[in-house]
Amino acid sequence: MPGNANMVTVWEKDPSSGRTRQAPKPDVNKLPLGFYFPPPEPPVSDDTDSEDFRYWVAAEALRRGADFWTPCLAPPPKWAPGNTLQVRPDTIYDDLNSDYDGAVLTFSHGSAPANPGLVVYAGATPDILCHELGHAVLHALNINLWPPGGTELEAFKESFGDMSAILCALQVSEFRDTLLAETQAAGNFWISSSLSRVAEQFGKVVRAVAPEDADKDCLRNAWNHHNYEAPATIANRQGPDVLTVSSHSFSRVFTGAFYEAFAAMFTARAANKATRSLELQIASTHMRDILAASVVNAQRRDDFFAHVAARMVDASAGKDASYPAIFTDVFTRRSILPGAIA
Ligand SMILES: [Zn+2]
C-alpha cells in the first residue's frame, strides 16, 4: 500500500530509465482544460507493471501538460471540442500507436514480434502523452490549422507534438536535475540527452517493427542535424535514417532547429548562474510563449516552416533581447529561413 493517499508514483520521464518520482495526485476533471477518463478511477499503485500505475502516469502527465499550456490559450481557455477532452488511456492490443482525432486522445500498446516480452504502452509514456496533448493544444490555439494541409503544415503538427513533449518534461524538477547532471557532465547542453530523445522505450520497439519509423536511439531525437530541404526535391526518398516527406520524418527538421535554439537560450541564460534549474524552467516557458504566439494567427501556407520561423524570431524579441539573434542564426543555418543578402 502506498504511504500517502494524496500522492502518486509516476515515471520521471521515459519508462526505459526506470526512474520514478512522487507527484501530487492529479485531478483530471479540473477546469480549465479538463479530461474525461473512463470510470472507475483506480487506486494508486507503486507497481510499475500494473494497469493502475499506468493510469496515474497518464493522468499526471496530461494534467501537468494541460496546466503548462493553459496560460497560452485565449480566455476562457478551452479545448477545441469544449471544456473537457476524452481520454482512452489504453486500447487495442498490438497497435504501436496513439492518436488525437480532434475530440479524443487514444493510446495503445504493443510489442515487437522478436521480443514479445517487452510490451510498451503509449499511454504510460509521458513523452507520447504530451506529444498527443500537443496536437490538442495546437488545435485549440489555431483551429484553422486543423484540416490536413501540405507537407510542411502536417510535419509542423508532428513537430509541435514533440516540442510539447520536451517542454512539458521540463516542468518536472526531478527531471531537470537529472538532465542538468547529464549535460554538465558532458560540458554542453546541446547533446543527445534524455531530454532530446523523445520516447526512448517506445521508439526502440517501433524501430524493431518498422526501422524507417524511428531513430536509432528513440522515436525521434530532437538533437539532430537535419537541414531543411524543399519537400518536392526529396519526394521519392525513403528508408530508415534519412529525411523523407512523411510528416513524422520531416518534422525532425523543425524540431531540430527548435531544440538547437532552446539549447542556446538556456546556455545564455544559465551562464555564471547557480540557479540552473530555475533558468531551465524559465527558458521553457519563454519557448512555450514564443511558439504559441507564432501559431495563434499563423496561416495555412506551403512554406509553413519559414512562415512560423519568421514569426518566432519576431515573438522572441518580446521575451529577451538576446533571443532574435539566436533564432535567426539557427533558422538560417538550417535553411528554414533564407540567409541575409550579402
Ligand atoms: Zn503526432
Render pLDDT for 44-54 as a digit per residue (tens, 0 to 9).
999 999 999 99
Report the distance separating Cα 158 and Cα 119, nearest Å: 24
pTM of the model: 0.97
- Kindly tell me if the per-residue pLDDT of 340 is higher than 70: no
Ligand 1 centroid distance, CA of 159 (Å): 8
| Mean predicted confidence (pLDDT) in 25-30 | 97
Ligand 1 centroid distance, CA of 131 (Å): 6
Taken in order of first residue, the domains within the chain and their CATH numbers are 7-145 (3.10.170), 171-333 (no CATH)
Ligand 1 centroid distance, CA of 212 (Å): 16
Ligand 1 centroid distance, CA of 148 (Å): 13
Ligand 1 centroid distance, CA of 101 (Å): 10
Tell me if residue 82 falls in helix, strand or coil: strand
The model's confidence at residue 250, banded by pLDDT at 50, 70 and 90, is very high
Q: What pLDDT shows up at residue 273?
A: 87
| Mean predicted confidence (pLDDT) in 66-91 | 97
| Mean predicted confidence (pLDDT) in 99-104 | 97
- Paired with 105 in beta bridges are 87, 100
- Paired with 8 in beta bridges are 23
CA atoms within 13 Å, Cβ hemisphere of 275: 6
The cell for 259 is 531544440
- Kindly tell me if the per-residue pLDDT of 342 is higher than 70: no
Ligand 1 centroid distance, CA of 157 (Å): 7
Ligand 1 centroid distance, CA of 82 (Å): 21
Taking alpha carbons only, the member of 316, 300, 309, 314 closest to residue 338 is: 309
Report the distance separating Cα 151 and Cα 156, nearest Å: 8
Ligand 1 centroid distance, CA of 312 (Å): 21
Taking alpha carbons only, the member of 43, 27, 47 closest to residue 35 is: 27
Report the distance separating Cα 250 and Cα 228, nearest Å: 9
Ligand 1 centroid distance, CA of 214 (Å): 13
Residues present in the chain in total: 342
Ligand 1 centroid distance, CA of 99 (Å): 7
Ligand 1 centroid distance, CA of 247 (Å): 9
CB 129 within 8 A of CB 66: no
Ligand 1 centroid distance, CA of 182 (Å): 28
Ligand 1 centroid distance, CA of 187 (Å): 32
